[in-house]
Amino acid sequence: MKAIWNGAVSFGLVNIPVKLYAAVEQRPVTFKLLHEKDGSPIEYRRWCSKGEHEVPWNEVVKGVDLGDGEFYVFSKQELASFKPKKTDLIEIVQFVKKGSLDRVYVDAHYYIGPEKPGLKAFFLLQETLTRTQKMAIGSFVMREREYVCGIEPYGAGLLLTTLNYVDEVRSMGSIPDLQERPELRAQEIELAEQLIEKLTVKSLDISRFKDRYHDNLKEAVEKRDAKHLVTVEEEVKTTPEPNLLDALKASLEG
C-alpha cells in the first residue's frame, strides 16, 4: 500500500514519524459522454457567454457569485496567499474520551502507520490510547487544505479521521415536520421491538452487502456485448508543409 502523506504526529515535545494511507478505495466507473448519432466524444470548452468565443486558460479568473449578476474576483496571487502554510506535522492539541465524538462530524478515514518498522514511540502512543480509551484531536495540512482530525487505535495501528468543521454541519432543527411528534401506542412499540429483536444479529457481516449497480456495470463491460461497442477513429490533423523558399527568406530576415 502506497503512502499518500509523510510527516509526524506531534504532541508536547514528542514527534512520531508516520505515514498516512487511504483506508477506503473508491471503485468509480468513469463514463465518457458520447454523441449518440456517431459515437464521437463530447468536448467541454471554456466558453465566454458574452463574447461567444472560447477563452484560453491564461484569461480565466475565479470569482465568487454575490448575486444579482455581481462577482467578487480574486487574483491568483490573492488565492495563493489564502492557502494554509504547508507543514508535515499532525499537531495534537487535546484528548477526548473515545466514543464522545458526534458522528455527524466524521468525514473520511485514513490509516496511520509508523515511518519504519519497530518505531517504539508509535506503538507507545497506540498502546496508551488503547489503555486510556482516548482519542487524540489535532490538525494538519494535506493537499493545500487544513483539516481537523481525530486519531484513535484501530487494529494493529492507528486510524485518523478527518472531521467536518462546525459551520459545515447543518442543524437537524432545520428539517421540517420533525416538531410534531405523534402519540405512540404501547402495542405499536412492543411489536416494533419484537421485529427489531428478530432481525438482530450477533455481529455485522458487511460483506453480505454488495454495490449491485457497480457490479452490474463491471459485468457488462467485461462481457463486451458487440451491439454496445462504438469505435471512434481519431481524426488525424495534418499540418500543411511550409513553403521552403518562404522559410529560408524568413530565417535570413530574422
Confidence band of 19 (pLDDT split at 50, 70, 90): very high
Q: With beta carbons less than 8 A apart as the criterion, state whether 186 and 194 touch.
A: no
- Overall average pLDDT of the 37-43 stretch: 86
What is the torsional sign of CA 138, 141, 147, 149?
A: negative
Query: Mean pLDDT for the chain?
Result: 87
Of the CATH numbers 2.40.290.10, 1.10.490.10, 2.130.10.10, 3.50.50.60, which one belongs to the domain with range 5-25+83-168?
A: 2.40.290.10
Flag whether pLDDT at 22 surpasses 80.
yes
Q: Kindly report, residue by residue over 145-190, the tens digit of the pLDDT.
A: 999 999 999 999 999 999 999 999 999 988 888 888 899 999 999 9
For residues 74 and 135, give the distance between their C-alpha atoms in angstroms, rounded to a whole number.
39
Query: If you ran DSSP here, which 8-state letter would residue 61 be given?
Result: -
CB atoms closer than 10 angstroms to residue 196: 9
- Alpha helices, DSSP H, located in 84-146: 120-132
Pick from 101, 88, 109: which is nearest to 10 by CA? Answer: 88
Confidence band of 232 (pLDDT split at 50, 70, 90): low
Q: Kindly report, residue by residue over 183-217, the tens digit of the pLDDT.
A: 999 999 999 999 999 999 999 998 998 888 888 88
Tell me the Ramachandran region of residue 220: left when phi exceeds 0, alpha when psi lies from -120 to 50, beta otherwise: alpha
Which pLDDT score is estimated for 247? 60
pTM (predicted TM-score):
0.76
Where do the structural domains in the chain lie, given as residue ranges? Answer: 5-25+83-168
* Residue 88, CA atoms < 13 Å, CB-side half-sphere: 11
Flag whether pLDDT at 248 surpasses 90.
no
Q: Kind and range of the H or E element at 8?
A: strand 5-11
